[in-house]
Structure 1
Amino acid sequence: MEWRDEGIVLAARPHGETSVILELFTRQHGRHLGVVHGGVSRRKAPMLQPGNQLDAVWRARLEGHLGSWSVELMRSRAAGVLSDPLRLAALSATCALCAFVLPEREALAEFQIRTEDLCDAIVSGEGWLNDYVFWEAALLEVAGFRLDLGTCGATGTTEDLVYVSPRSGRAVSRAGAGEWASRLLALPEMLTGAPPSMARVVAALDLTGFFLSEKVAASLGNRPLPAARARLVDALRGEA
């Protein structure tokens, strides 16, 4: 078995004395793992930092085997954000959430390209806050839980939407909420078209984080969300 693809480094963990298990989010083969022999070396280790773009060849005797990678660096994103703790946190959170949520070996070409675009925006520093918020919403949909914020789940109206149902992820209008308003989540302004501000970004991520934790993580064995995401939200909250 052998194929070639390109993708984003999500994680690399030690394997034996000199190798690492590399996790890539590839364009055509989804989230895929393999061994990089000599991955701890001075030449290879810098290539295997989360967020970097690699050209990779995967080989294995049988398709179900872990296999091995041969990799070449295409773009070093990690190096571009080392001097900016906030953007470094965003790049780390993006990679950690992909590794946490995405199914292994399932092609998600459209979402993969969206993730590459987000990583590039984080490195450039242009528009990444807005992109990150809506990327998390898209990640929820990939995981099987879609937010429906266009119409009220109770009345069908598109007017005065101010709440979100914590059970269904559907928007609820003020009138539709009625006596249940205290049990509903606030609908962040940013998710209904308001321009981003730090406070609005945090409010939006509080909502997506709720569903990532209560719906997605719960379906994955109640594992906690990656610490990298919490660090990003805490850093953003400090800036709000």
Structure 2
Amino acid sequence: MHLRAEAIVLSVRAHGEHGAVVRALTEADGLQPGYVPGGRSRALRPVLQPSNLVQGEWRARTDEQLASLTVELIHSRAPLFGEALPAAALSWATGLTAAALPDGLPFPRLHAALDGVLAAIEAAPAARGWAVAMVRYELLLLAELGFGLDLEHCVATGAREDLAFVSPKSGIAVSRAGAAGYEDRLLRMPPFLTAGGAAEWGDILDGLRLTGHFLARDLLTGRSADVLAARVRLVDRLQRAVA
């Protein structure tokens, strides 16, 4: 196995005395794990920062063996980790992707979307410019992994207009008329998910509640559930930022 490609660093885990196991997302070959000798060294720690763009080269004698990985930095987002809100957003986006995706399967739409979210965070650390993109990325991740929501028609009436809620059980939209009397049992669907355009902070937080429910239920279970702590930190910091 020999692969050379640009990749987004998603996660770094200490391995042995000096090395690190790195999971990075490539466009054509999906998520690729690799062992970086000396990955915990002073020279490589800034390179192996989640969200950084690197040139990676993976080598292994067999497909079953964990590849040895060497990296060269292309673009660093490490300075953003000195600010609480951007750091929380970068940590969540990369951690979620690392936990949810299987190894070696291409997800070009997710690669492009993640690259866009990370670039938006870098361009607008104050969150107004990237919070909507984060919600849309979470929805896309659910869809790409087979847990997509149906936000086009009402599960109760079949209507395609005035959709304002989502059933937490089926993941299908519910109109205001169909939701009458059951609003407190449903998840609010913010208008920007179907109509596009700008979003108020209340709508953004509703969007995060919506996607968070299905991420926790359908994707981040078992050992992967640990990554949800990063999302809790992100939502908490967003709420404090807009309070």
- Indicate whether the TM-score tops 0.5: yes
| CA deviation profile, 1:62-112 (whole Å, cap 9, x unmatched) | 011111101100000122x13432111111110010011111111111211
> How many Å separate the matches in 2 of 1:222 and 1:97?
9
> How many Å separate the matches in 2 of 1:93 and 1:177?
32
Partner residue of 2:27? 27
Please state if 1:216 is matched with 2:219. Answer: yes
Partner residue of 2:93? 94
> How many Å separate the matches in 1 of 2:56 and 2:203?
38
Within a 5 Å distance, the mapping from 1:137-152 to structure 2 comes to 137-152=139-154
- Across the two proteins, how many residue pairs are aligned to each other? 238
Secondary structure of 1:223's match? helix
Residue type of the partner of 1:7? A
In structure 1, runs of 5+ residues without a counterpart are none
Residue type of the partner of 2:90? L
> How many Å separate the matches in 2 of 1:93 and 1:50?
10
Secondary structure of 1:163's match? strand
Paired residue for 1:172, among 145, 158, 174? 174
Partner residue of 1:233? 235
After superposition, the Cα gap between the structure-2 partners of 1:18 and 1:182, relative to the gap in structure 1 and judged at 3 Å, is closer
After superposition, the Cα gap between the structure-2 partners of 1:111 and 1:171, relative to the gap in structure 1 and judged at 3 Å, is same
Partner residue of 2:70? 70
In structure 2, runs of 5+ residues without a counterpart are none
Secondary structure of 2:3's match? strand
> How many Å separate the matches in 2 of 1:198 and 1:186?
14
> How many Å separate the matches in 1 of 2:74 and 2:81?
18
- For residue 60 of structure 1, report the CA deviation from its aligned partner: 0.2
Secondary structure of 1:229's match? helix
Partner residue of 1:207? 210
- For residue 154 of structure 1, report the CA deviation from its aligned partner: 2.2
Within a 5 Å distance, the mapping from 1:45-124 to structure 2 comes to 45-79=45-79, 81-124=80-123
Q: Kindly, what percent of the aligned residue pairs are identical?
A: 40
Q: Could you tell me the TM-score, scaled by structure 2's length? A: 0.91
Q: Is the 8 A contact 2:10 2:51 kept in 1?
A: yes
| CA deviation profile, 1:131-164 (whole Å, cap 9, x unmatched) | 1111111111122111111221222212221221
Q: Could you tell me the TM-score, scaled by structure 1's length? A: 0.92
Please state if 1:135 is matched with 2:137. Answer: yes
Residue type of the partner of 1:44? L
